[in-house]
Amino acid sequence: MRYYTLWIAFFFLTVSEYAFSQKLNLKCYQFPDTIPGKYIFDIKKGYDITSNALVEGYKKRDIKRFAEMESYGKQELFTSGYTYLAWDQLETYLNKVLNQTLPDSLKDNTCVHVYLVRDAEYNAFAIHDGSLFFNIGLFADVVNEAGLAIVLAHEFSHYINNDVKTSYLKGLKIYTKKNRNDNTSLLLKHAKYDRASESRADSLGFVLAENGGYDIFYGISNFMQFREIENFEKETQRKSHLVNMAKNDSTEKGNDSTISKSLEDLMSTHPDLSNRISFLNKYINSAKRRSGKQEFIIDKDEFSRFQELAKTEVLNILLTENKFKECIKRSFIYYLLNPDNENYIYYLLESIRRAVYVDSKLKNHGFLTDMFKKHDDKQGILHKLKLIIPDSVKFSKIKDINLIDTANIAFETYDEAFLYFQNIALKKNINECLLTIALYYSENDSLKSKYLKEYCSKDSIKFKDYANNLLNNSLYSSLSQNNREIILLDNISFIEDHFYGYHDRLILAEQKSPSYFNELRKMTSKYFPEKEIIELSELSLRSLRTKMEYEYAILSTTFINSNDGDTKSDVIYFDSDEKPGKLKEFDLFKLNPSYWKLFKNNKLKAISYLKVYSFDDKTKLMKSINVINPYFWYTIIYRFCDAINNGSDRYAHRVLYYSYDISSKKSNFYSETTRYKMSKAYFLNSIYYAIKTNEKIIK
Amino acid sequence: MKKIIILVLMLILTIKTHGQIGFLGKRNVISTDIFNTFFQKKYNLNYNFCIGKGLMLKAAYSLHRYSNTIFLTKENNYYTGNNEVADVSLRGHSWELGFDFGNFLQTNMPMPIGYFMGIAFEHFSGTLNENRTYNNLYAPPTEKKYIFNNKANIFKLIYGRNSYIKYNFIIKTSVDIGMYLGSVIENDPANSEECPLMVLPLSNPKVFRIKYNSNYDKMKKVTFYVMPNISLGYIF
């Protein structure tokens, strides 16, 4: 099982997503309005405890850096909505399973606690203080409670072995100023260490799970799951940049894939899956440990119930995260295994609709095969279902046998797939799908109004107002009275570059940000009185739900920059060589109708997101005061000219500004780096022009 | 001249003017040079107007009230003790026009703030009063007065940085590298057997004493100089 330190999790925070309520058969997760007290931690205390714990062989400075990142990062995991805060039942269940695996001496340890993470990836991780984080995506697909227990025990082993701290401190060397550009050997060394710590955690995890009474044979199924993902990534070219580079290198040299495979293995932070599986097999066989062990100890029914909920939740997350293809793939697999669940049909149709809306060319591509390196453009996945369900046990559980029949292929392209599932949805009377179908045929007025009328005639539907307005072509005119233009202000990041590596000054940011924000408020009230500044950190404490809604609206607006008509979606097109089709106009409300509700309820006219980074290259400090060096004076004119051209040698600050305005239906992304030290005045000036430039482009 | 104007116009047109002009939208700057006021008694008022993100038009007017006492020769011999002293005062004014360029490679700090490079032309006209006194221990002092019209054209290359202080005040630190094309026109040929001092409104006149010119009705001198500037400005 993978564990990542918090800083890696940070990078994914922005793509975590809001689960809106569904009125299908399931009760989906809703964010609480305020963060429950048990998820608010004493950051200062956590920092003091961690920073005062000396680790032999490491400098106090590095330990403080670690403490800063972990203590602030942990709180951020909760305030950012990355962790579930109101799903107590599932969290309690997970903790019961963990408790089952713990040795007696640690059973009542309050430090050790599992939290559930709103992430569709197959992953779990531990942090330094015994908090374990378990992704909902992994929970949705884990085979049984034993498999779950093994993962939790593995993560707990990382905590017991103090792997998080040691790995972080060992890894610091890689990114020092001296090493960061030539760190292959260090990377390899560190990866080797990580693999060793993973193997140790595997061993201890098996022992703990076994002692807890679980059948550790199911650990193999976890590994098989990872192998499936690994194979899928290989087939769809989703490997890391580094591994891809290694592959390209070996290809250029005319070598076969064995070199790239060995490089891949060397770079990997986790042991080879075959080794892990064979190790587990040996462990199981050597002592015939399976006798008397169980698949479920806590509650089988509860597990199944939660897993079913988790699957829908995963689809919900993927859809709102705009990871449409992954959503199509997973909902299709879930549908094959359980065609009676209406949610899977809804998410499948909705994700196809949105994917096609973003990239209209997709309509005629082979259904799901376009994700693979080698594919026939027109041939769908039904020809090779094994590509997405390689596990033969799982394959044998497919219930919709019509779709296994390769002699009589039900559909080939996305368009045909939509039609196929549309008919199923209509047969099953899934009300919400009517809106999806209407929006899919939005170019065809008669079909659109037919399905919209049908949708509006239903009771207890989610987007009645939206559908009525869409039918009357008053979607935007109904919002014409909206006058709020909000700017969501994220925390300022103060990043320093030292000889010992990068340092994100979280404590400094906490101290400095309020005064910067006060000045910003004064500036906006003077120059942009119509704009309303909302601090995200403050809003998350006041109303987390609103904060999440705003953030996800922004996330979707960044999809398309209608300025030049190019689609800019990392999520969808990151791995694709294809150039996406041009969209002249981006309709946020067509992409996701829930945003119309958001704009309507909050009287929003425009929504923007602002993030500022301040960089300080401390390694240049000595260079700039090197006045005793004759070379300094010899090159003074050159230095001055360089300063005119490039600004400060040491400082820079960067402003990111995303915005969407309903009056123009345009989204804009502004990013400028100013190469001067970020004083308050320069900070204000950069933001002033971000807003001004944006207004000019949007209006 | 036409070519120069066209060149300047073309330069202006090539500067990107969309988006960021001025600091916080403020495009005008009024400033005064503290350094030269203090050392040279050059009372100066600058006006700058941003016409692009990296381009600023500059106009300035200065009043020159320079005066100094200069020992032209000085003997330390107690018994003879001859010395020649010149009390020099310069009264004049100058106007200046120029451009400042900044933000060359999209450093993204809109002018008037940030590093910049400028070109400027300054025209000076004024009167030089020179009162020379010859002191001798054994004779009464003799005095001679000269009045010269002094004109100069100065081409400057400026490197500097404007930094924002607070409350819309900025401080400009710069270095002028100048080429001084000066001319001195004598008013009184009767006194012209002595060569006049050429007072550059920027430096010690002793440096620029002009050699005797047989055709002394008009004398010219080309001088290069480097002069620091510290100005206080207000943006609006």
Each residue's pLDDT tens digit, A425-463: 999 888 889 999 999 998 888 888 899 999 988 888 888
How confident is residue B78, by pLDDT bands cut at 50, 70 and 90? low
> What is the three-class DSSP state of B231?
strand
Residues of A in contact with B104 (CB under 8 A): 644-645
Over residues A290-304, the mean pLDDT reads 80
More confident residue, A195 or A507: A507
Examine the pLDDT at B166 and tell me if it is beyond 80.
yes
Is A390's Cβ below 8 Å from some Cβ in B? Answer: no
CB contact under 8 A, B20 and A696: no
Highest mean pLDDT among A394-398, A550-554, A662-666, B56-60: B56-60
CB contact under 8 A, A646 and B116: no
Lowest average pLDDT, out of A290-294, A354-358, A550-554, B176-180, goes to: A290-294
Task: Please give the distance of CA A630 from its chain centroid, rounded to a whole number.
Answer: 52
Residues of A in contact with B107 (CB under 8 A): 645-647, 674-676
User: Rounded to whole angstroms, how far apart are CA atoms B15 and A262?
Assistant: 53
CB contact under 8 A, A689 and B20: yes
User: Rounded to whole angstroms, how far apart are CA atoms B139 and A215?
Assistant: 124
Structure tokens at B200: 């550059």
Q: How close is the nearest chain A Cα to the Cα of B125, in Å?
A: 32
Structure tokens at A679: 């004083």
CB contact under 8 A, B108 and A686: yes
Examine the pLDDT at B194 and tell me if it is beyond 60.
no
Q: Give, in order, the Cα–Cα distances in Å from A254 to each of A249, A260, A669, B68, B98.
A: 9, 11, 42, 83, 62
- The predicted structure's pLDDT at residue A577: 38
- The predicted structure's pLDDT at residue A671: 83
Lowest average pLDDT, out of A221-235, A395-409, B97-111, goes to: A221-235
| Structural domain contains residue B167 | yes
Highest mean pLDDT among A2-6, A374-378, A418-422: A418-422
- The predicted structure's pLDDT at residue B189: 46
User: B1-22: b or e for each residue (b if 16 or more CB lie within 10 Å)?
Assistant: eeeeeeeeeeeeeeeeeebbbb
User: Rounded to whole angstroms, how far apart are CA atoms B198 and B190?
Assistant: 18
Handedness of CA A208, A210, A212, A218 (dihedral sign): positive
Contact A9/A73 with Cβ under 8 angstroms?
Answer: yes
Structure tokens at B4: 């120069």
Measured between CA atoms, the residue of chain B closest to residue A523 is: B24
Which residues of A, range 517-536, sit inside 8 Å of B by Cβ?
Answer: 523, 527
Over residues A333-352, the mean pLDDT reads 91
Over residues A90-107, the mean pLDDT reads 88
User: Rounded to whole angstroms, how far apart are CA atoms B19 and A670?
Assistant: 12
Domain ranges, residue B39: 27-235
DSSP of A215-273, one letter per residue?
-TTHHHHHHHHHHHHHHHHHHTT---HHHHHHHHHHHHTT--HHHHHHHHHHH-SS--H
Is A257's Cβ below 8 Å from some Cβ in B? Answer: no
B115 vs A643, A684, A693: nearest CB: A643
| Structural domain contains residue B10 | no
Examine the pLDDT at B36 and tell me if it is beyond 90.
no
Lowest average pLDDT, out of A99-103, A130-134, A608-612, B67-71, goes to: B67-71
Q: Which residues of B fall below an 8 Å CB-CB distance to A?
A: 18-20, 23-25, 102, 104-105, 107-110, 113-117, 159, 161, 164, 166
If we measure between CA atoms, which residue out of A103, A102, A101, A99 comes closest to residue A91? A99
- The predicted structure's pLDDT at residue A573: 33
How confident is residue A589, by pLDDT bands cut at 50, 70 and 90? confident
Over residues B115-128, the mean pLDDT reads 86
- The predicted structure's pLDDT at residue A574: 28
Consecutive H or E run containing A467: helix A464-471
Is A647's Cβ below 8 Å from some Cβ in B? Answer: yes
Q: Which of B113, B115, B119, B163 is the best mutation test for A, with the most CBs of A within 10 A?
A: B115
How confident is residue A277, by pLDDT bands cut at 50, 70 and 90? confident
Arithmetic mean of pLDDT over chain A: 79
- The predicted structure's pLDDT at residue A533: 92
User: Rounded to whole angstroms, how far apart are CA atoms A21 and A32?
Assistant: 12
Q: How close is the nearest chain A Cα to the Cα of B101, in Å?
A: 9
Q: Which of B16, B99, B107 is the best mutation test for A, with the most CBs of A within 10 A?
A: B107
| Structural domain contains residue B13 | no
Residues paired with A656 in a beta bridge: A611, A671
- The predicted structure's pLDDT at residue A130: 87
| Structural domain contains residue B15 | no
| Structural domain contains residue B122 | yes
Highest mean pLDDT among A84-98, A217-231, A397-411, A558-572: A84-98
- The predicted structure's pLDDT at residue A437: 93
How confident is residue A421, by pLDDT bands cut at 50, 70 and 90? very high
> What is the three-class DSSP state of A493?
strand
Contact A409/A382 with Cβ under 8 angstroms?
Answer: yes
Examine the pLDDT at B106 and tell me if it is beyond 70.
no
- The predicted structure's pLDDT at residue B207: 38
Own/partner long-range contacts of B193-199 (Cβ < 8 Å, ≥24 apart): B194/B132, B194/B144, B194/B146, B195/B219, B196/B128, B196/B130, B196/B146, B196/B148, B197/B70, B197/B86, B197/B88, B197/B128, B197/B130, B198/B128, B198/B150, B199/B66, B199/B88, B199/B90, B199/B128, B199/B150
Arithmetic mean of pLDDT over chain B: 74
CB contact under 8 A, A679 and B164: yes
- Output Rg (C-alpha) for chain B, integer angstroms: 22
Residue identified by tokens 């620091």 is B228
Q: How close is the nearest chain B Cα to the Cα of A585, in Å?
A: 23
- The predicted structure's pLDDT at residue A16: 36
How confident is residue A3, by pLDDT bands cut at 50, 70 and 90? very low
Lowest average pLDDT, out of A67-71, A75-79, A245-249, B49-53, goes to: A245-249
Q: How many domains does chain B have?
A: 1
Q: How close is the nearest chain B Cα to the Cα of A686, in Å?
A: 8
Over residues A617-632, the mean pLDDT reads 73
How confident is residue B232, by pLDDT bands cut at 50, 70 and 90? very high
Consecutive H or E run containing A561: none
CB contact under 8 A, B117 and A641: yes
Examine the pLDDT at A609 and tell me if it is beyond 80.
yes
Residues of A in contact with B24 (CB under 8 A): 523, 527, 681, 684-685, 688
User: Rounded to whole angstroms, how far apart are CA atoms A593 and A223?
Assistant: 39
Specify the pTM.
Answer: 0.79
A675 vs B107, B113, B117: nearest CB: B107
CB contact under 8 A, A689 and B102: no
Residues of B in contact with A640 (CB under 8 A): 115, 159
- The predicted structure's pLDDT at residue B30: 92
Q: How close is the nearest chain A Cα to the Cα of B109, in Å?
A: 6
Domain with residue B198: its CATH number is 2.40.160
| Structural domain contains residue B217 | yes
Per DSSP, B195 falls in state P
Give percent above pLDDT 70 in chain A: 81
Examine the pLDDT at A18 and tell me if it is beyond 50.
no
Residues paired with B114 in a beta bridge: B162
- The predicted structure's pLDDT at residue B12: 58
Measured between CA atoms, the residue of chain B closest to residue A646 is: B107
- The predicted structure's pLDDT at residue B11: 60
| Structural domain contains residue B21 | no
| Structural domain contains residue B75 | yes
Establish, for the pair of chains A and B, how many residue pairs have beta carbons separated by less than 8 Å: 63
Digit-coded pLDDT (tens) for B144-164: 777 777 778 888 888 888 889
Residue identified by tokens 């890696």 is A8
Is A499's Cβ below 8 Å from some Cβ in B? Answer: no
Examine the pLDDT at A575 and tell me if it is beyond 60.
no
Examine the pLDDT at A582 and tell me if it is beyond 70.
no
Residues paired with B144 in a beta bridge: B132
The pair phi, psi for residue A502, each rounded to 5°, is -80, 150
B107 vs A647, A684, A696: nearest CB: A647
